[in-house]
A and B are shown apart, each in its own frame.
Chain A
Amino acid sequence: MILLGRILARLLTFLVLVALAIAGAAVAVFSIGGGSGTFSLPGLAELIGLPALRDHVGDLLGDVEAGGGIATITALCALGAVLLGLLLLIGTFAPRRERLVVLAQDEHGRLAARGRAIGHVAAALAQQTRGVTATKVKVRPRRRARGGKLRVKASHPRTADPARVRTDTQSSLEPLTGAFGLSARVEPERGKAGKRVQ
């Protein structure tokens, strides 16, 4: 959610700045002339259809005041705009904090690791399990406490017993999970044809 907000905020900032630059350049160029000629501010307003837009918005506001379907759609659009605004605010102001898995903590300092590093180690350990052909690891750090959760998808051939693969993979992960307060959920899944068994 925060990542989406951040991407949207950056994209919109870029687009708005480009639009502002173009608008500024246009106003500067059209300010050269005076009166109501082609190169004048009234000319620019005419060129981009501001009078027509004013009439259109006036009609829309009249419809909204009258109630009915158009008013409902307008209210929903306004709600969407508010939500988009909130998302942009979150994307702009949410702290850029890296979530780390805390492995140990004492008065001398903390030992932590990025999820990717832990995932790398967990995958290496899980792939040492007999019958496991491939692994996918997801790591979720705990918010406050030490440790985190590992979700390991272990691919195995048809001939392997999934329950056995699960327990063996859990055992292979023990050096990591036992030492650092990590909990592992192993999900055995039948591998695709052509994968080799360790």
Chain B
Amino acid sequence: MDAARPDAGPVLAAGPSSRARLARLARQAALAAPGVAGLSAGPGQLVVAADRGEALTGVTAEARSDGRFDVRVAVVVCEPLPPLHDLAERIRMRVGETAAAHGLGELLGPVEVSIADVAAPAALTGAEPAP
């Protein structure tokens, strides 16, 4: 019966889930925020979202009972340290705007910003730091 459905097909051929799309967008938005040197999965590699076999480090998106997703980004902050409240607000705003621009604004729940580490300016090479 599935063969009659136009959208039926192998599972692997399906597009990314809303959760994965939201996690990817949140990751991009956080990386683009000023004062953020990179994202970190943490010592136990706990802050990782999976997207069809790919690991998105430094971000998680967890489903809530109201249908939205809790998003967490674990950022490595550049020195000199920016005001953390402002930094978190900027990241939240960027994540919200990016999600809304991609039609996922209604799925976005609270955004947790975790400061995973502080990177010295000399250590910043533009590459994402090792988790």
Interface residues of A (CB under 8 A from B): 96-98, 100, 103-104, 107-114, 116-118, 120-121, 179-180
Contacts and interface: CB of A to CB of B under 8 A. Distances in A.
A94 B43 CA distance: 17
A193 B86 CA distance: 42
Given A103-B84, A104-B88, A109-B92, A114 B114 contact: yes
Given A117-B77, A117-B115, A120-B117, A110 B110 contact: yes
A179 B85 CA distance: 9
Interface in B2-59: 42-44, 46-47
B115 A114 contact: yes
30 contacts: A96-B44, A96-B46, A98-B42, A98-B44, A98-B47, A100-B114, A104-B85, A107-B110, A109-B88, A109-B92, A109-B111, A109-B112, A111-B113, A111-B115, A112-B113, A112-B115, A113-B114, A113-B115, A114-B42, A114-B114, A114-B115, A114-B116, A116-B117, A117-B77, A117-B116, A117-B118, A118-B115, A120-B117, A121-B118, A179-B84
A139 to B, nearest CB: 12
B112 A110 contact: yes
Given A98-B47, A108-B92, A116-B117, 12 more contacts: A96-B44, A98-B42, A103-B115, A108-B110, A110-B113, A111-B88, A111-B113, A113-B116, A114-B117, A117-B115, A117-B116, A121-B81
Interface in B85-131: 85, 88, 92, 110-118
Contacts of A112: 112-115
Contact of A108 (B44, B77, B84, B111): B111
A98 B112 CA distance: 14
Q: Identify the interface centre among A98, A117, A120: most chain B CB within 10 Å of its CB.
A: A117
Contacts of A97: 46
Closest 8 CB pairs of A and B: A113-B115, A109-B110, A109-B111, A111-B88, A110-B112, A117-B115, A120-B118, A112-B114
